[in-house]
Amino acid sequence: MIRVRAARRTTLALAVAALAAAALAPAGATVRATAAAVPPPPADVLAASSGATTAPDAAADKRVAAGVKAALSGKAVGSDTTAFVLDVGSGTPVYAAAQTRPQIPASTLKVLTAATALVALGPQTRLTTTVVPGAAKGEIVLVGAGDSTLTRSAAARTWPAGQAARPASLAALAAATAAALKKAGTTKVVVHVDDSLFTGPRTAPGWPPTFTTGGVVAPVTALSVDQGRAGPGVGSGARVKDPSLEAGRLLAERLRALGITVSGTVVRVTAPTGATPLASVSSPTVADLVERMLTQSDDDLAESLAHLAGGKLGGAASFAGGATATLKVLGDLGVTTTGAVVVDGSGLSGQNKVSAATLVGLLARLATTDDPVLSAAVTGLAVAGATGTLSDRFTGPGTRAGRGIVLAKTGTLTGVNALAGLVLDPAGRLRAFAFLEDGSPGPQAVARTALDRAAAVVAAG
């Protein structure tokens, strides 16, 4: 039996409720992060309770089960759909359909990556990109730390509502580097890069070549600027072939503009061990990164976090290491991994296989743990009809009951749709759910709406 602890649930409730309120409030309105700011229940999924387990309601469970089954029975969904709804407080399964059968999870895999990164790296850790003196005279080395949010912008914008962290700026790093060089009397340098923190292939098994050439995701390296995009901003889809070398070239350009003479060609080197940095910039905290990764379903960020976790717990900062770390963390948290296959951190690969039982088991664990390390894996979930990948969903007939109530991670690949998350129903019962469609004949928009209707049924209770 899983028992929900009141104090823990209160802390997460206020964070999530404030996020939903900010997203749903009229333009210019002021939102306070207090219980009074959001009339229950919008997004108050983890609201305070007495700490006692809510007694099961057989009639409500039967109603929810029938509604979920009906929502998932449409032709667009297909026959290879698995589903699991759990009453978290009592540990009672509410609806189960092949819930232990591994399916392609698409981006719902990011929930696993989130928990793994938080455990492996710690929520307050920051990723520090540095410039250090090289082994040769006049050589400086840009050293990557796996911060995929590093941007070329001189005045990096903050992230969307509820995620006000500001990413590190290459422009700021260049300015600090130029100042340090001038102070040391050096105005002529060669720029090289060190991206040796990550090892192994730069693309995961199961990724079509078009993913990197078409801009879906960049080749995974420990050093990149604007996630390897050819231009600034998330709207620029084209990716460069080698993000690390491009980062070095961008630094060289900035240094030239600041009066430093840069010669030679940017190449990979290994920075001297223990070199004192000339300059450095740091990312937002890992908790901030995890929240952004979940809310926006950021594939590049997911891969960098998974690689970093692999370096801590999986034997190597690689795709394989990240997979090992993920399965280890799930096991340590007491979550079933039977049949699970993990090959990347983003869920882009069709070779990933995760069951609805694994997703629900992890979500239930995250929602009931006393460990503050894991908070961002819940507060980063998108709010239905309000934030991130759910901002334009839960708006049509049969889905509005979930608006502002459902917290979930989406998942979409060709023929694959998934939704996994948490709700607090009108009776105060915390429910965890996961719906995975594999081989959906579509149309995809119709199949996706079916999942929204199923989640709305759970929210309505």
Please indicate, yes or no, whether the overall pTM of this predicted structure exceeds 0.85. yes
Domain segments of the chain as ranges? 6-105+354-460, 126-284
Instruction: Specify whether 297 is catalytic.
Output: yes
Query: What distance in Å separates the CA atoms of residue 275 and residue 258, rounded to the nearest whole number?
Result: 24
Both tokens of 314, joined, read 């999986």
Instruction: Specify whether 241 is catalytic.
Output: no
Q: At what angle do helices 109-121 and 319-332 cross, to 10 degrees?
A: 80
Instruction: Please give the CATH architecture assigned to the domain spanning 126-284.
Output: 3-Layer(bba) Sandwich (3.50)
pLDDT tens profile 405-461 = 999 999 999 999 999 999 999 998 999 999 999 988 889 999 999 999 999 999 998
Instruction: Specify whether 110 is catalytic.
Output: yes
pLDDT tens profile 345-365 = 999 999 999 999 999 999 999
Q: Which residues of the chain have pLDDT under 50?
A: 1-53
pLDDT tens profile 173-184 = 999 999 999 999
Q: What pLDDT shows up at residue 131?
A: 98
Asked whether the beta carbons of 8 and 365 are under 8 A apart, the reply is: no
Query: What distance in Å separates the CA atoms of residue 361 and residue 320, rounded to the nearest whole number?
Result: 23
Please identify which of the residues 148, 244, 283, 297 carries the catalytic annotation.
297
Mean pLDDT taken over the chain: 87
Q: What pLDDT shows up at residue 51?
A: 39
In the sheet that holds 416-424, the strands lie side by side as 92-97, 81-87, 430-438, 416-424, 407-413, 382-383
Q: What pLDDT shows up at residue 350?
A: 97
Please identify which of the residues 49, 107, 169, 318 carries the catalytic annotation.
107
Instruction: Please give the CATH architecture assigned to the domain spanning 6-105+354-460.
Output: 3-Layer(aba) Sandwich (3.40)
